[in-house]
Amino acid sequence: MIAQEAQYRDWMLAALAGDAGAYRMLLAGLTRHLRSYYARRLDSGAAEDAVQETLIAIHARRATYDPALPFTAWVYGIARYKLIDEYRRHKRRATVPLDEAGALFGHDEAEEAIARRDVSKLLAKLPPAKRQLVSDIKLDGVSVADAAKRTGLSESAVKVTVHRAIKSLGEDVNRDSQKRQGGDADR
Amino acid sequence: MRTDDLIDRLSAGLEPVRSGAVARLLAGAVLLGMAGSALVMLAMIGPRHDLAGAMTHPGMWTKLAYTFAMAAFGLWLVERAGRPGADMTRPALLLALPLLAIALLAGLQMSAPGADMTGLVMGRSSRVCAALVTLTALPTLAATFWALRKLAPTRLTLAGAGAGLFAGAAGAFVYCFHCTEEAAPFIAIWYTLGIGAVAAIGALLGRSLLRW
């Protein structure tokens, strides 16, 4: 079961009964999923158009939602149809999986942004030279050999530095979460 | 237009949806389409002359029951096909029931002692039966496509085939009132061929006509 199912279904049922506030929240929430879904499959201009077309389709065809069925599967059916339509328009042949509402709801623009923010916050704890190495190798995919050439260190020294930095960050994360749990217990 | 503005506009103009909207739309299409099919049958070939008497024959009820069951499961398939994310396997599997039943009955009649094989299979109208079923079904096919376009079919060939299957069975149901054949083997072969032909037409047209 997809995590957002219950919330979105509630909003959808309220919207079908005429609740504009719930409908706005639903469309805003779906827009985040749709943006990230189309951004990974279409180029940027086409992606935003596809988001809008899908929102209009959801609106125009909302009577076809059967409350006895999962809402996320209904939305995914429409999003997938619009994606295939877009591919067809550009004569691109592609297969799109049929039963994977998770492809739409697994990713979320906001969650991805939070994850990125957490990583950069964590990296900021490292001294600048180490930070550069970790971000080059672990995030940007620079090879160890290239990083060694750039910094003048030996390859094994680069590997050891990155390994130790990651380990110390891991210890930091553990300490933070223990502290947070301790704080909760005090309350 | 910015996406946020679009969301504002869509939610500002929101109207409640009456429950059962899909069922009402489909009911309208079925009534309209079958009225059209009845008109085509009456104008083109007319009802059989001994219709009142035929209503007491078990053969008449056999073909009415067979085509009715095919149409009912076909209509359910169309309803599922019009809803994104809905599963079509159950109505598709149920279609096997009337097919099995008529095949079984046909087998029984053909294995009876002294059965006239050629007569049971070919009847007197085997050359025109499937074609006339197809013609009779066309108004129902058009009405079903019209309704599906207002829904949201996402697998167009499959949705078209479902619409054709329903329309073919509904057309065959109407055709029963013209046709004087009553042998199960005849119905199992020629009626089913007509229904299959309309399903094939629907599948071919679905890709282009059901886009939205």
Cβ of A69 within 8 Å of Cβ of B86? The answer is yes
Structural domain boundaries in chain B: 20-209
Domain spanning A5-105: which CATH class is it, in words? mainly alpha
A182: pLDDT strictly greater than 50: yes
- Give this prediction's pTM: 0.78
Dihedral of alpha carbons A163, A167, A168, A169, sign: positive
**Range A113-186 has CATH code 1.10.10.10:** yes
Cβ-in-10-Å burial (0-12, 13-18, 19+) of B149 comes to middle
The residue extents of the domains of chain A are: 5-105, 113-186
Distance CA A115, CA A139 (A): 13
B51-55 contacts at long range (C-beta below 8 A, 24 or more positions apart)? B51/B177, B54/B180, B54/B182
Question: In chain A, positions 94-123, which contact chain B (CB-CB < 8 Å)?
Answer: 101
Cα–Cα distance for residue pair A38/A48, rounded to 1 Å: 8
What percent of chain B lies above the pLDDT cut of 70?
100
Task: Choose among A18, A28, A66: nearest Cβ to B15.
Answer: A18
B14 chain-A contacts, CB cut-off 8 A:
15, 18-20, 23
Which is higher by pLDDT, B13 or A19? A19
ipTM of the shown complex: 0.89
3-state SS string for chain A? CCCCHHHHHHHHHHHHCCCHHHHHHHHHHHHHHHHHHHHCCCCHHHHHHHHHHHHHHHHHCHHHCCCCCCHHHHHHHHHHHHHHHHHHHCCCCCCCCCCCCHHHHCCCHHHHHHHHHHHHHHHCCCCHHHHHHHHHHHHCCCCHHHHHHHHCCCHHHHHHHHHHHHHHHHHHHHHHHHHHHHHHHHC
Per-residue pLDDT reduced to its tens digit, B11-24: 998 999 998 999 99
pLDDT at residue number B22: 96
pLDDT band at A187 (very low <50, low <70, confident <90, very high): very low
User: Of A135-144, B38-47, B134-143, where does mean pLDDT reach its minimum?
Assistant: A135-144
Measured between beta carbons, the chain A residues lying within 8 angstroms of B26 are none
- What's the mean pLDDT when you consider all of chain A? 83
Q: Rounded mean pLDDT of A82-92? A: 83
| Long-range own/partner contacts, residues B47-52 (CB < 8 A, 24 or more apart) | B47/B177, B47/B178, B48/B177, B48/B178, B48/B179, B48/B180, B50/B180, B51/B177
- Which residues in chain B (19-38) have CB-CB distances under 8 A to chain A? 21-22
Amino acid at B20: G
